[in-house]
Every structure is written in C-alpha cells, then in structure tokens.
Structure 1
Amino acid sequence: MKYLPLLSIVLISACSAPNQVTSITSQEQVVAYSKHQGYEDRFDNFYKKPELYPVSCDTDCYPSTALIECKTDMEQCQYVGENNIPQTRLGYEIQWLGHATFVIKTPTNETILIDPVKHQFDWPVDLGFRLLNGFYRNEIKWPDNLSDNVDGVIYSHIHYDHFSKETINELGNKVTYFTPKGFADYFPKGGYKISEMLWFTKTNLGNSTLHFVPAHHFSSRVVVPYITEDHDASLWGGWVIESKSTRLFYAGDTGYSSHISEIANRFASFDICLMPIASYFHETAGKWYRKVHMTPEDALYAADELNCKVMIPWGYGNASWKMGDKSSHAPLFRLLGQYQQLKSKVPLIILNEGEQIEL
C-alpha cells in the first residue's frame, strides 16, 4: 500500500507530460487561408472543385457481379474475385484493417499506420450515435502486437473516422506521429512526438521519405460543420511514401479537383495508389458530399491521371460507417461496374477488411 501514492504520481506525470511538436516547413509549401467567424488563419482548399466532373455515372451504377457475395442486397459482403498481383515485387506489405486504416511495411522495413481508428468514435460523438439511432460500427480486428511494431503514424485529417484519441492512447508515445498543421492542439497529453506539416513539405521516417500533399476536403471535430469555432482550424491532405525508389500514394478523404494534376506533375507516377471510393452519396445532402469525397469513377479517373501502376480502393466494407453510402458495399459494386464502363487500364487490387498482400 505504501507504494500507491508514488505510483499515482508517476501515472499522472506520464499522462500530463507535454507533447513534443515539430513544425515542418519548406520553400515549396502551399497553403490557403480563409476567414471564418472573424478568424484570419482558417485553412481552405487551394485547388477548387471542377465546374464539371470528368466522368459521372447516371444510370445502372450498381450492376450485379459474381465477384462479390453478399448476405443481403449489397450488405455484409465479401469480394471473392482473384487479384492479379504484379510479378515484380516492390517490397511492400499492405494490410487493410477497414475504412481508411492501413498498415504499411515499406521496402526499407518501416511500419507505418495510416489513419488508425480501432473503435467507433471518440466521446461524445460515440455516445450520441448510440443514443440517437443505435448506429454502431463493427469493430475492426486489430493485429496482435501491432502497437509494439509501429514506427510512425500518419493522419489525413481530424474527422472522427480518421483520427481517434482512444486509439492514440493505445498506440502510446514511442512512435512518431505525422499530422497536418493544427493537429497538436487535439492530441491527448502524454509526451507524444508530433510533426505538423503543410502541403508539399516532407520529412523522413527511417530510410523512407514522407510527403504531405493536398486534398479537397475540410476539417472539424464536431457534428455540424461550418457552424462551430473549430471549423477548418486544422489542415487536411494525403500522403506520399517514398522508399527505395518506389512511391505509394494515400489520397485521404478528398473530392476530385485540380490538386490531382498538381500531385501528378510533381511526382510523375505512383507504384501503388490507395484511393477512396465511398461517402459520395447522400439523399439529403446531395451533391455536397461529392465535393469532398470521390465517387468510384472519380477515383478511377484520378488513378489514371496520377499514373498509378496499381490501385487499391478503400472506404467500403462490413466495418464501414456507411456515411453517405447506399449500403456497406455499394461503392465496390459501382467501382467494378465503372471499371468496365470506362475501360480503365489501371490494375485493381480489391481487399476485404483484414486482408494483407505483398507487392
């Protein structure tokens, strides 16, 4: 019993330790600001959405396919088709845990966790969803000892389905966190190492280089955007991982815009592209959802523009939140249909949640 006061002091000190925040800058950095509720430093989309999207599906957007087996109509499904894995291996191990969360092992052996959200949402949004309509995400299966083997964590933006304080507490402060500008204020206290970045800045993790690149989205940690004071107080974007002369692109949540061509111009091509294909449909919000999320045909068009040698889609799935989707797997049905319709040449690799591949 005499050791309990000392133990309490140690635990309190660890939880309240100041975070170590580094701001990454570059002469090539790009940033746009807008005014919001009298603030001068709110972030904005530098690259605006197109007046007309390059491609749009209007009819028969969800054709049936033998490649997906479902318990009900486009719900609780498994992809059963074969993936054509390139014979020439790049040295990546990629595991999709669900929604936007990936575990990436690079050719130079760094393990990088992308947008890790293990559970539902952080409190109080989690409680609100449970009380209001019983809506609840199926918890994803977390690999054994994952927290002990991660070298770095990268985040695309601050929304609850991409940034989880509860998951950060589980991962601990031994890893380095790479975030958009403005994230440090949202982190729990506990001696976390955080590198905040603006668009087109870069830093190193071991022998890999991490580039933070633009997306067309927005940020807030509240239920109703555009109203509360934290709207667009932190930046959003995607990531490029360079390792042993290879490039992997993670788009983050984004609508299609000219930022895609700007990224393509700067990097020329990508060996692997992790592209979002969900949350573009909403019966009441309508076209606004597509402004900040890609349809499957947008993702295919962008992958071609980015010169992706392989595209891996994400956002659908049995553990997805179906935020702006007709069903758990409607985006995947639409993707496969549009792939044929558009005669896309970008090779697709379709994963079920939890699956891992070597490329």
Structure 2
Amino acid sequence: MNHPSICLLLISCSLLVACSSNDVTRIEAEQAGATQTDQGRYRNAYRDIEYPDNCEADCYLPHPLVECQQPGENCQYTGDNPTTNLNAGFEITWLGHASFKIQSPDGQQLLFDPVSQQFDWPVNWAFRLSDGFNRNTPQWPDSEQLQDTAGVFYSHLHYDHFNKADVRRIGTEAEFFVPLDMASNLPRGGYRITEMDWYTQTSLGPLTVHAVPAHHFNSRVWVPFLYEDENRALWSGWIIEYEGKKLFFAGDTGYSPHFKDIQQRYGDMDICLLPIASYHHEEHGNWYRYVHTTPEDTLAAAEDLQCKSIIPWGYGNASWKMGDHSSHSALIRLLNVYPDSSRQIPLLILNEGETVKL
C-alpha cells in the first residue's frame, strides 16, 4: 500500500470515529446531589421507609369502570375523566407502560422512557426462557413523527424503560437527557446527550428541565463472576417547567420522603405522571414494594408533591406484568383505594394510545 493510500485510510478512519462519537454534557450538583459509595455505586437518598397506608382487604374487587375480557386481563377503562382548570398547556399521550409522548406548551415534542417493542436482545430471549412473554406492542409514532422529537428523557437503564433500538429510531435530531453516568449506554452515532445529577437544571428552548431524585436502583449488564454494573449509573425523575407550570415524571420509584423534598424545593406540581404497578411478588414482595409504589403509595406521593392532577402508568394491555397479578390489577386496586384518599386529587385514567390536554 502506498503512502497516499495509507493517508486516505487514516483520514477515513478518523472521520468515521468523529461521526460516530456522541456529544455528552455532564451537569453535576454543587451541593445536595446524588451520593455514591466508596465503590462508585449510587444510592437512594433514604434507606429506611415507613409506608403511610396499606390496602389489606378488597383491594382487587372488580370495578364497574374497568371492562375486562378475563379477570384483570385485556381491559379498557370506560369512565370519564374529570374536568380540570389547570390550563398548563401540556398535551399528554400515554404510549404504554412507562412511555409518554408529550407536546409542551411551546409546541415541542418530548418522549419519556420510550420503549416501542420488546426488551433489547438478548434479555428478551432470556425473559422468554424464564416464563416471560412478548408483550402486546403499543401504538407508536411513525418515523416521520419521531423525527419531530425535540427531547428524550430516560429515568434509568432497566430494559422496560430504555431500549437502544428506539434511540436509533428516534435519531440524532433530538437531545437526550439521562441521569449521571448513563450516557455510555447509548449507541454511538452523533447523539447529543446531557447527563444530569439530582437537583440540577438545564434548558430545552423555553422549557426548564429539572432532574430530581427517585427511589429505585439501576443496572443493565450482569455476567456471573465476570461483570455487573449495579448502581454504576444514577436513576432520576424529571420536571418539565414552562412559565411556572410544572409536569412531573417520576420514573420507576418506591415511596420515600424524596417526594416531600421535591415539593419543598420546586413547589406544587400541576401534572404528575406516577407509577402504580410492579409492587407484587409472592416471595420478595417487600423488595418489590421498596422500589415500586403500590397504588396507595402513589396517592401518598401525590399528596406529598401537592399534585393538581394524577395520570397513573405501569398497568395496561401492553405491559409486561412484572410484579403484578394481571395487566390491570394495579389500576383496579387504585380505583378501589382512591375514594379513601384524604385529598381527592383529580385522577385521569388513560388507555394506551389515548391523549389528554391539561
């Protein structure tokens, strides 16, 4: 190979590397951000948790507004949602499980924890081998609609919340917002990524983006005796603020005083997108609840946050039913305990694919 050919090859390789690298910005809190152990693992803000309420009886009585083909399965919510006077300007579409498409008051399209199909390979294969199943695929924005996305927000790395194939489908026009030390898990390809600590903020056009605590854990890879990454990356919730109106996305989380901390720092939340599922397990129920709110925990969290409206998620026909009795058991339990909540915060129930403007 002659010298010009070698030079051309080196230039081509350099351009390929440059084009494939991501542009990562890291925002750390000056004080009161997330903490790590000496081993570099992140930890929750609170360790010992006291739960304010617990449903003991008649938690899963069939509800007249949830019509199911089988008990708790293949259901539709048939009730009317309450009228609110929030005038917050957010248009919210629940895509299924934890995924939301939101149009902000200034017209930007935002995606939260977008997972359009199954788990990334090979975890989907392993899940199927361990008595799992392929979930029903939700209705999803087409490729042209995805190209209009301005911001993508991920709460953590678990496979039901983060999917590399969807990152590629969304493309490089959007800006990606992730918790600290998560950026390395996105595919290379010229993506703009902002990593954020708890209690930090940045801007997306006229929107203010706040990263806030969640009570959970984070992991992506586990190879016995060789490698694991448990809690090497942070987990977060998100607040999107526009002209004083605030939308809160909790991410996966258990109940803890962090909800009160968020309210004390940022004030009342206008719209709260809160999880209600994945808390049940016959053998390890205490652990599941520690990192996932029950419906009654969710109502307590909404009171702590002083939410003006609640949109629950995690249940549904496109759920994986991990930590649940059935696809809609969590929603049925929520509707059974809601009348006993101390503050009747407006509760807006969506079926997958439905949209509400608040």
Q: SS in structure 2 opposite 1:21?
A: strand
Instruction: Give the distance between the partners of 2:26 and 2:225, measured in 1 at CA.
Output: 26
How far is 1:96 from its partner?
0.3
Unpaired runs of 5+ in structure 2?
A: 1-11
Aligned to 1:81: 79
Aligned to 1:140: 138
Aligned to 1:120: 118
Q: Structure 1: which amino acid aligns with 2:58? A: D
Superimposed CA distance per residue, residues 281-332 of structure 1 (whole angstroms, 9 cap, x where no aligned partner): 0112221000000000000011011110000000000000111000000000
Matches within 5 A, 1:174-323: 174-222=173-221, 228-323=227-322
Q: SS in structure 1 opposite 2:241?
A: strand
Instruction: Give the distance between the partners of 2:225 and 2:60, measured in 1 at CA.
Output: 32
Q: Is this contact kept in 2: 1:177–1:195, CA < 8 A?
A: yes
- TM-score normalised by the chain length of structure 2: 0.92
Name which of 62, 65, 69 aligns with 2:63: 65
Superimposed CA distance per residue, residues 183-228 of structure 1 (whole angstroms, 9 cap, x where no aligned partner): 1111111011100011000000010001000011000014699995
Q: Is this contact kept in 1: 2:222–2:228, CA < 8 A?
A: no
Q: SS in structure 2 opposite 1:287?
A: helix
Instruction: Give the distance between the partners of 1:169 and 1:301, measured in 2 at CA.
Output: 37
How many correspondences in the alignment? 346
Aligned to 1:95: 93
How far is 1:143 from its partner?
2.1
Aligned to 1:20: 23
Aligned to 2:36: 33
Instruction: Give the distance between the partners of 1:225 and 1:147, measured in 2 at CA.
Output: 37
Instruction: Give the distance between the partners of 2:225 and 2:213, measured in 1 at CA.
Output: 20
When the two chains are superposed, the root-mean-square deviation of aligned CA atoms in Å is 2.1
How far is 1:109 from its partner?
1.6
Q: SS in structure 1 opposite 2:261?
A: helix
Q: Structure 2: which amino acid aligns with 1:340? A: P
Q: Percent identity?
A: 50
Q: SS in structure 2 opposite 1:338?
A: helix
Q: Is this contact kept in 1: 2:94–2:355, CA < 8 A?
A: yes
Instruction: Give the distance between the partners of 1:120 and 1:248, measured in 2 at CA.
Output: 27
Instruction: Give the distance between the partners of 1:154 and 1:21, measured in 2 at CA.
Output: 14
Q: 1:23 to 1:132 in 2, by over 3 A?
A: same
Q: Structure 2: which amino acid aligns with 1:135? A: F
Q: SS in structure 1 opposite 2:40?
A: strand
Q: Is this contact kept in 2: 1:95–1:102, CA < 8 A?
A: yes
Q: SS in structure 2 opposite 1:262?
A: helix
Q: 1:305 to 1:238 in 2, by over 3 A?
A: same
Q: Is this contact kept in 2: 1:74–1:328, CA < 8 A?
A: yes
Q: Structure 1: which amino acid aligns with 2:278? A: S
Superimposed CA distance per residue, residues 328-357 of structure 1 (whole angstroms, 9 cap, x where no aligned partner): 000000001110123441110000000011
Q: 1:282 to 1:48 in 2, by over 3 A?
A: same
Instruction: Give the distance between the partners of 1:139 and 1:353, measured in 2 at CA.
Output: 10
Superimposed CA distance per residue, residues 135-177 of structure 1 (whole angstroms, 9 cap, x where no aligned partner): 1111111123321110000010110011100100101111100
Bigger CA drift: 15-24 or 258-267?
15-24
Instruction: Give the distance between the partners of 1:121 and 1:15, measured in 2 at CA.
Output: 29
How far is 1:93 from its partner?
0.5
How far is 1:28 from its partner?
4.2
How far is 1:132 from its partner?
3.9
Q: SS in structure 2 opposite 1:151?
A: strand
Q: 1:88 to 1:251 in 2, by over 3 A?
A: closer
Superimposed CA distance per residue, residues 53-85 of structure 1 (whole angstroms, 9 cap, x where no aligned partner): 111111111122111100000101000000013
Name which of 101, 104, 118 aligns with 2:102: 104
Instruction: Give the distance between the partners of 1:24 and 1:341, measured in 2 at CA.
Output: 41
How far is 1:17 from its partner?
1.0
How far is 1:129 from its partner?
2.1
Superposition misfits of 4+ residues, deviation over 4 angstroms: 223-228
Unpaired runs of 5+ in structure 1?
A: 1-8
Q: Is this contact kept in 1: 2:86–2:270, CA < 8 A?
A: no
Q: SS in structure 1 opposite 2:137?
A: coil
